[in-house]
Amino acid sequence: MGKGRRQIDPKKLATPGKGGAGKRQLRHRRGMARRQRFLLSFLVLLFCVLGGRMFWLQVVAANGLTKRALENLSHTEKLPVSRGIIKDRRGKKLVMNISKSAVLLDTAEFSRSEELEAQKKVLYKSAGDYLGLEQGEIDEKIAKGGTQVLATQVERTKALAMKSQGIRGLRLEEMDSRSYPFDSSAAHVLGFTSRDGDGIYGVEKSYDEELTGALGSRLVYTGGQGGSIQSTQGADIHLTLDREIQRVAEEAIATGKEKNKARRVSVLAQDVHTGAILAMATTDLFDPNDPQRPLLPEQQQVWESLSQKEKTERLYQNWRNFTVSDLYEPGSTFKTITAAAALEEHTTDPKKHYYCTGYIRDLQGITITCSSLPNPHGDITMDMGFAKSCNPTFVYMARELGKENFLKYIRGFGFGEPTGIDLPSEGRGIIPKSAEDISDVNLATMSYGHGIAVTPIQMINAISSVVNGGNLMVPYVVSDITTPGGEVIYSRKPQIKRQVISSDTSRTMRELMGMVVTDGTGTLAHIPGYRVGGKSGTADKVSEKGGYEEGKYISSFVSVAPLEDPKIAVLVIVEEPQGDIYGGHVAAPITSTILEAALGAEGIGATEEKTPQRDRRILVPDVENMLLEDAGRVLTEAGLQFTASSTQSKTGIITQQTPGPGVEVPQNTLVELKVDPNNEGATRTPNLMGKTREELSDLLEEAGIPFDITGEGVVIQQSPRGGEPFEDDAVLKLQLGDPEAIQEDGDDNGKANSGNAAGENNQ
């Protein structure tokens, strides 16, 4: 290289011209390059965004967007599917479906009517006449557009009549409606459905999902025809109820209600080993075919004057299942729990002696009495105390058992908690929360079933555990669930909740309950050919305002048979009976009728020979208005026992007897007599028919009753007649004559000879 070689400036090589013009040209080129790079970057970014969005729309969100698009073009109408059938344990249909219609209106089609206003008038009138819809409701549905359901569960004749009006866009869809072929029978068990097909109360509610299956739906497009989605038919429900036992039970409690002029009578029949409910009923049942209809004449008379709120409250009461939801004081039927607990804890035994004075007086604020008064039991063994339902005996037993142990068994037998029965709205009952909450008074009264609140289902379930070997079962009303084709989806297995007492204690309790029927307060529960066990109960009715309602009682009886190996238990509860109030007289005959039918329906044959002596039936003589001495003689001669409220006066007369006159009872039944001492001036005239002159003189002179006797023989007529008031200045006139004349002239003296004319029936 040469020494003075010239250096070339690179910047000058890039400059096309000289001076300021070259510099401007360079800057322009650089700006263009930057803009090109920015535009290219923007286009690449835009392509990525659009590509990503397209990928999101077409792949990721495709399903959701399709659904939203369809929703904009259509709406879905829920229509009831074919609901499952409900059957009894032998397959008899208790609930089925009948065809009805859903009335739909395609509003787009309707709006294209050439004479739209005229069509609207026809629609308004038809919807009002056949569907009960107001004009405003129709306008609201038209405004929504699409295809609207105007009504469901419409009678086919009405739907067809509306269709015949030629209303454009009106369509009918066939659908199933619930039908209860036996009307109100087992209503509280079955429940019913709403107009939309939803289960309300009973099995219809508890098993609504199974009965419904998958909901059917009809997809309706705004601009086109609707497509249908196939519905799944609901499953069939098989109950433990036996239609024949249920029928007999409902007839028996209806008769019992009328006979005893009671407010309500309820019944439960249960398989003691499985817990299955064979019958469940209460009088005054609503009709599931028309559940909104008022019950009873008194409710019907005031119905139109009630507010909607009041009507709703009455309907809820009509639908309420007393046997599962309501509480009551069980009275002496609860003595089975006290006895079982004491036997299990070995604080008593059947032959342990107690002493009944007729009273418990050592409790602060109250005196407990025994129904044996005025003739207290005195020295009595535990087994006879159970048979005769001696209150003091059970107070002593509860004290021996102790508060903690007693509460342990109250809980053990399932009181204070739901039984778990597969029906809605089950009650819990009310029991003490702890042993510390049990006062001495509470301990005493709970021993014979007062001061404790239970549900009927708890009571029968506990009784079943007492006699089945000691196992507390979970009661149930549904045994199987099947497909319409008969395939079993679910089969219920008996479930033991816990063992409460030993099999030995259970065996002893069965014998004690047998004594109640043979020698105690439950002789009217006897069934020829079977050994029956039972327990009676009579309790004051609790007031909703607190305390007890004056003169109102709840009478009950529980029966089990066959006693050697019990299969069935029946509990009957009679609310507010009039006249006779004792459970052994009021409820026991009802349990006998139902239990005998249940034994027959279950194919359980007689377990012992029917003997004339054992099964001898007697018509109770009428001894009202008689002197106690005469009444006792008549009852004894008829083969009956008796107890009287007072024995202190020779002139005392019978004012009431239970069982009443003419009731058919087994031999040796105890007749309870209410006696008016009549010793303050002899205010009521005793029935003296059939007495001799000598008997009259001794009696009337001692009583200070002025009398005038004519004739010879025995009294065949008297004035005043037996039971009539005896005025201070009156003279009792007595006509004596031939004893045969009493029979001939008995009508003149009211009940004069009815006692001597008592009959009997050996089956």
* pLDDT score recorded for residue 6: 44
**What is d(CA 431, CA 304) in angstroms, rounded to the nearest whole number?**
41
Lowest mean pLDDT among 36-50, 93-107, 179-193, 288-302: 36-50
763 has pLDDT over 60? no
215 has pLDDT over 70? no
Region 49-64: mean pLDDT is 67
Q: Residue 235's pLDDT band (boundaries 50, 70, 90)?
A: very high
**527 neighbors 595 (Cβ within 8 angstroms):** yes
282 has pLDDT over 80? yes
**What is d(CA 741, CA 317) in angstroms, rounded to the nearest whole number?**
57
Q: Residue 645's pLDDT band (boundaries 50, 70, 90)?
A: low
Lowest mean pLDDT among 91-95, 104-108, 172-176, 629-633: 172-176
Q: Residue 326's pLDDT band (boundaries 50, 70, 90)?
A: very high
* pLDDT score recorded for residue 761: 34
Region 160-166: mean pLDDT is 90
686 has pLDDT over 70? yes
261 has pLDDT over 50? yes
Long-range residue pairs from 294-298, CB within 8 A, at least 24 positions apart, any chain: 294/318
**What is d(CA 522, CA 386) in angstroms, rounded to the nearest whole number?**
11
pTM, entire model: 0.73
Region 563-583: mean pLDDT is 94
* pLDDT score recorded for residue 697: 77
Coil vs helix vs strand at 131: helix
pLDDT greater at residue 760 or residue 246: 246
pLDDT greater at residue 325 or residue 115: 325
Lowest mean pLDDT among 154-163, 326-335, 420-429: 154-163
5 has pLDDT over 50? no
* pLDDT score recorded for residue 389: 93
**What is d(CA 312, CA 328) in angstroms, rounded to the nearest whole number?**
24
**282 neighbors 254 (Cβ within 8 angstroms):** no
358 has pLDDT over 70? yes
**What is d(CA 241, CA 267) in angstroms, rounded to the nearest whole number?**
13
pLDDT greater at residue 373 or residue 278: 278
Q: Residue 81's pLDDT band (boundaries 50, 70, 90)?
A: low
Lowest mean pLDDT among 242-251, 265-274, 565-574, 690-699: 690-699
Region 429-441: mean pLDDT is 95
Residue keyed to tokens 């400059």: 15
667 has pLDDT over 60? yes
**What is d(CA 428, CA 439) in angstroms, rounded to the nearest whole number?**
22
Omega within 30 of 0 (cis) for the link into 376: no
Output the average pLDDT for the chain.
84
**What is d(CA 588, CA 416) in angstroms, rounded to the nearest whole number?**
26
* pLDDT score recorded for residue 268: 98
**What is d(CA 486, CA 236) in angstroms, rounded to the nearest whole number?**
8
Lowest mean pLDDT among 278-292, 467-481, 483-497, 714-728: 714-728
Of the segments 114-128, 430-444, 723-737, which one has the largest average pLDDT value?
430-444
For residue 120, count other CB atoms closer than 10 A to its CB.
18
**What is d(CA 77, CA 460) in angstroms, rounded to the nearest whole number?**
46
How far the first Cα of the chain sits from its last, in Å, is 154
243, HSE (Cβ side, Cα atoms, 13 Å): 15
* pLDDT score recorded for residue 459: 98
* pLDDT score recorded for residue 408: 97
618, HSE (Cβ side, Cα atoms, 13 Å): 25
Residue keyed to tokens 């009211």: 750
DSSP conformation letters of 36-59: HHHHHHHHHHHHHHHHHHHHIIII
Nearest one of 716, 725, 710 to 752, comparing CA atoms: 716
Tens of pLDDT, residues 20-32:
566 667 676 777 7
184 has pLDDT over 70? yes
| Both tokens assigned to 283 | 């009088």
* pLDDT score recorded for residue 678: 67
Q: Is residue 711 packed enough to be buried (19+ CB in 10 Å), middle (13-18) or exposed (0-12)? A: middle
* pLDDT score recorded for residue 429: 95
612 has pLDDT over 70? no
Omega within 30 of 0 (cis) for the link into 720: yes
35 has pLDDT over 90? no
pLDDT greater at residue 348 or residue 365: 348
Length reported for the chain: 763
Region 714-721: mean pLDDT is 85
* pLDDT score recorded for residue 403: 97
Region 626-630: mean pLDDT is 83
Region 323-328: mean pLDDT is 95
For residue 504, count other CB atoms closer than 10 A to its CB.
12
Q: Is residue 305 packed enough to be buried (19+ CB in 10 Å), middle (13-18) or exposed (0-12)? A: exposed
Tens of pLDDT, residues 477-522:
999 999 988 899 999 999 999 999 999 999 999 999 999 998 888 9
* pLDDT score recorded for residue 756: 31
**What is d(CA 338, CA 429) in angstroms, rounded to the nearest whole number?**
17
Q: Residue 613's pLDDT band (boundaries 50, 70, 90)?
A: very low
* pLDDT score recorded for residue 751: 39
* pLDDT score recorded for residue 65: 56
Lowest mean pLDDT among 104-108, 323-327, 604-608: 604-608
**What is d(CA 590, CA 237) in angstroms, rounded to the nearest whole number?**
30
**What is d(CA 624, CA 718) in angstroms, rounded to the nearest whole number?**
16
**732 neighbors 685 (Cβ within 8 angstroms):** yes
Q: Residue 475's pLDDT band (boundaries 50, 70, 90)?
A: very high
Q: Residue 647's pLDDT band (boundaries 50, 70, 90)?
A: low
Helical spans, DSSP H, in 520-566: none
For residue 641, give Cα distances in angstroms to 277, 360, 659, 667: 36, 26, 11, 9
Region 616-633: mean pLDDT is 82
Q: Residue 574's pLDDT band (boundaries 50, 70, 90)?
A: very high
278 has pLDDT over 60? yes
Q: What are phi and psi of 731, to 5 degrees?
A: -125, 130
* pLDDT score recorded for residue 478: 97
pLDDT greater at residue 476 or residue 158: 476
